[in-house]
Structure 1
Amino acid sequence: MSHALHAAQIETLNSAHSLPLLARWSVAFAVTVTKWDTRRRSRKHLIRLNDHLLADIGLDRLKARTEASKPFWED
């Protein structure tokens, strides 16, 4: 289990305008890296789901492969 802050917690920190400039940049960087990591892990797991589970989330195998093939930085 990761001890990193959850993306929502980091977003909350990022919205605190009283932070010094370097701290805001650091938090913004952390938010970006966290989003990228979440996408990477989600796509990695998506491709491993069986057809029944894909149907439960409204995807077919082709759509799952298409989503999983996207680079982590692409939304």
Structure 2
Amino acid sequence: MTQIAYRSALATLEATRPLPVLAGIALRVAVVLAVWSQRRRTRIALADLDAHMLRDIGIEPEIARAEARRPFWLG
């Protein structure tokens, strides 16, 4: 959901006024780094949840472990 918000903000910014090429590249890099950072944080938090907490949010422990092990650069 946040990735959609980042991309939406990027599209809105680019639609209102064209950016210089270097600024556009820098903005895209910043968006990718922000998405990666959020994925890393959420996967670390997911790995810290115990079985009881996972049941509360409706996630099987095996699925949570598999997701937590995924590299942050994979969506």
Q: Tell me which interval the TM-score lies in, with the shorter structure as reference length.
A: 0.7 to 0.9
CA deviations on 1:20-52 (whole Å, 9 max, x unpaired) are 111111110000000101000000000111222
Total equivalences in the alignment: 69
Deviating 4+ runs (over 4 angstroms): none
The answer for the alignment partner of 1:54 in structure 2 is: 54
SS of equivalent residue, structure 1 residue 47: helix
Q: Which structure has the highest helix share of the two?
A: 2
Which amino acid is the alignment partner of residue 45 of structure 1? A
8 A Cα contact 1:10 1:30, kept in partner: no
What's the C-alpha RMSD, in Å, of the aligned pairs? 2.0
Q: How high is the TM-score relative to the length of structure 1?
A: 0.77
Q: How high is the TM-score relative to the length of structure 2?
A: 0.77
Q: Percent identity?
A: 38
Instruction: Trace 1:1-75 onto structure 2 (pairs within 5 A).
Output: 8=5, 11-12=8-9, 14-15=10-11, 16-17=13-14, 18-75=18-75
Unaligned stretches of 5+ in structure 2?
A: none
